[in-house]
Homo-oligomer: A and B are copies of this chain.
């Protein structure tokens, strides 16, 4: 199959429930509107790219963008919601996973980025339960296969109709010679803690497992007969609702981002992305607030999504996704900040003071997710700390997330960085540690020292271990130029693998397993001839010829 998507229109991530094509976000009156329903109803003919009908509630990036948007809006716009039910509007099918023809016709890079985004979205569903107290139930009114079942096991509770035909299944390995691409294998053994031999059997039986056996193996939580499906789903929904720990939250509306895009990049209000195709370097700049920012949660609620903490990070998220999906040839990103550091610290002071307020908490969690998106973006990030930059507190996290930090050692200008209370654990990485903790695994006492120290000059920051290289005025331009040139000249694949290995030291979590281990295996398989070769299983899916495997085991 030809790899077509590289020549297509760029992928854009903004949407709105009114524009959803494939999902319905409903707020039924029962339970006082405390249970949102996310109903999957994929329109076959409205795939994100032409060439593959989205049959049987199969999905592509367009479907998943809507799901990600819905989760975000539930958190910010619908404070009454205290639990979510995910289900399907199709008869006898919940979801048949990522569309196979879409995968078969996509580039390797697109497949990898698509899986990463869908993985993030499923983790958001879990984070919404763990951090915001909004648990989810998956009501499988029909078969959930592949990514469909992976979506189900991202929920807290699964009900499967026992109707003699509805099954849960991972047909990827037996039918397509790839792995379930969205954390499925990891969640089987690490989240649902299913016995490895049963997980093995399940993952190799294309037709999957139904009814009682699915319950016995731990694949679903209950499998009532069709006639009792509604009743059981209601009972179990009431049970998760009972456990919901959502705190009172003031609603805000997430307004559309305003962005000017061109060949040269994108200009948002607080974020700017400048692309240099020739050097394969992008410059990503985040600006400090420049007007009045909220000083209380009430003011934040009033200002809504135009508050800097929300808007700047939503813009950053959009820019990062743009880099991932639409700028494949960019290898290195120069991370910059500019503006009034005091204004950033003032926002930080408000957020950290009111971190237990519902809306403030959601804001911090949003920032956390965006910073994680940065950690997981397969580009080299070099932070440049220069005069008039504002790598302080929340924005210092950008430098701590970078692969290297260059800080100018200037005689003429003040250059400084600073921590704030926001660096003390409010933005955990996938490994569960703060970026400071991860940085100083060898000398943990440096964490509290950095947190106490406040503003630091270049020399202080070097001493504190926050800076990789600190060229002086004379050397700065040359050293920076050479560093970017050298990095951009290296094999993109080697850099991706190296960064994935160096960025997450310390403890492992289900999340690091999903992105570190499972994704790497998936990526490996996604380029093996047995899957994607001319006679591979993914290529030949749906064709009369059977795949033709090279039997050599690696």
Contact = CB atoms under 8 A, between A and B. Distances in A.
A492 B554 contact: yes
Interface string A426-462: 0000000000001111100000000000000000000
Nearest to A491: B177
Contacts of A512: 508
A493 B188 contact: no
A56 interface: no
A347 B518 CA distance: 39
A530 B491 contact: yes
B185 A501 contact: yes
Contacts of A193: 441-442, 505
B173 A490 contact: yes
B185 A553 contact: no
A203 B493 contact: no
B188 A502 contact: yes
A396 interface: no
Given A196-B403, A553-B496, A189 B502 contact: yes
Interface string A469-502: 1000000000000000011001111111111111
Given A491-B177, A492-B553, A552-B328, A502 B465 contact: no
Contact of A552 (B179, B200, B492): B492
Interface in A190-215: 190, 192-201, 203-204
Contact of A440 (B195, B404, B553): B195
A84 interface: no
- Looking at A193, A493, A495, A513, the one whose CB has the most chain B CB atoms below 10 A away is A493
A257 interface: no
A178 B486 CA distance: 16
Contact of A527 (B280, B329, B524): B524
B378 A554 contact: yes
Contact of A491 (B113, B440, B491, B531): B531
A350 interface: no
A373 interface: no
A155 B175 CA distance: 45
A112 B554 contact: yes
Contact of A172 (B189, B196, B494, B522): B494
Given A196-B503, A199-B502, A530 B189 contact: no
Contacts of A523: 520-521, 524, 554
A43 to B, nearest CB: 30
Contacts of A499: 200
- Looking at A465, A502, A508, the one whose CB has the most chain B CB atoms below 10 A away is A502
Contact of A524 (B113, B203, B497): B497
A371 interface: no
A174 interface: yes
Nearest to A526: B524
A173 B468 contact: no
A280 B551 contact: yes
A190 B494 contact: no
Interface in A540-554: 547, 549-554
A109 interface: yes
A508 B502 contact: no
A438 B199 CA distance: 13
Contact of A195 (B465, B518, B537): B465
Contacts of A167: none
B330 A553 contact: yes
A552 B109 contact: yes
Interface string A105-135: 0011100110000000000000000000000
A407 to B, nearest CB: 11
A331 interface: yes
Nearest to A198: B468
A487 B204 contact: yes
A186 interface: yes
A516 interface: yes
Interface in A246-304: 280
A517 interface: yes
Interface string A302-324: 00000000000000000000000
Given A190-B505, A403-B200, A523-B524, A442 B493 contact: no
Contact of A190 (B172, B173, B506, B554): B506
Contacts of A493: 177, 524-525, 528, 530-531, 554
A510 B218 CA distance: 29
Nearest to A529: B493
A359 interface: no
A535 to B, nearest CB: 11
B528 A204 contact: no
A196 B380 CA distance: 13
20 contacts: A174-B490, A177-B490, A177-B491, A179-B498, A196-B439, A197-B468, A199-B502, A280-B551, A328-B552, A328-B553, A491-B537, A491-B549, A492-B530, A492-B549, A493-B530, A494-B525, A508-B513, A517-B517, A520-B520, A524-B527
User: Closest 6 A-B residue pairs measured CB to CB?
Assistant: A508-B508, A520-B520, A177-B491, A193-B442, A189-B505, A497-B521
